[in-house]
Amino acid sequence: MADRKDPLIGYQFALEVQGVITGYFTEVGGIGSEQEIGEHKVTAPDGKDVIMKIPGRSKWGDITLKRGVTDALDCNAWRKMVEDGNIGGARKNGSIMVYDVQFKEIARWNFINGWPSKYTFGNLSAGDSSVLTEELTIVHEGIVREK
């Protein structure tokens, strides 16, 4: 049982952009990749028509991060760069980190040339006492799990 690997339990998540922690989040989604599939029609030596499935281009999911609203404006400022047309300046390398309850980093994914494609602020209601939330969507050109 010494080589047993228990599943990781994520307690908190952080977004790091260009080496600087931009914020801590309660939810992260969309980390992953898939391959486009091409079909190649061939005739096998026995005369049967066969469709070969071949790998095409790689594509990566959009990263979505959710958190309670704070007075930090880092994500807003990053999104504003895109709104102002400064896409070149907005493209940044970064990481998504997963922490356990002792705040020890237990997993990390590094993304390349990411930029915020969407920022949404949760619904507001005067009689509601729930936490205000915001969501940031980051598109990128590749992601690799480092840890």
Averaged pLDDT, 108-123 = 93
Q: What is the pLDDT of residues 9-60, one digit of tens each?
A: 778 899 999 989 888 999 999 999 999 999 999 998 999 999 999 999 999 9
For 87, the 3-state DSSP assignment is helix
Confidence at residue 119, expressed as pLDDT on a 0 to 100 scale: 94
- Cβ atoms of 122 and 133 closer than 8 Å: yes
pLDDT above 90: residue 87: yes
Confidence at residue 121, expressed as pLDDT on a 0 to 100 scale: 86
Q: What is the largest CA-CA distance in the chain?
A: 73
- Taking the C-alpha atoms of residue 72 and residue 90, their distance in angstroms, rounded to an integer, is 18
What does the mean pLDDT of the chain come to?
Answer: 91
- Identify which of 50, 33, 32 has the alpha carbon closest to the alpha carbon of residue 41: 50
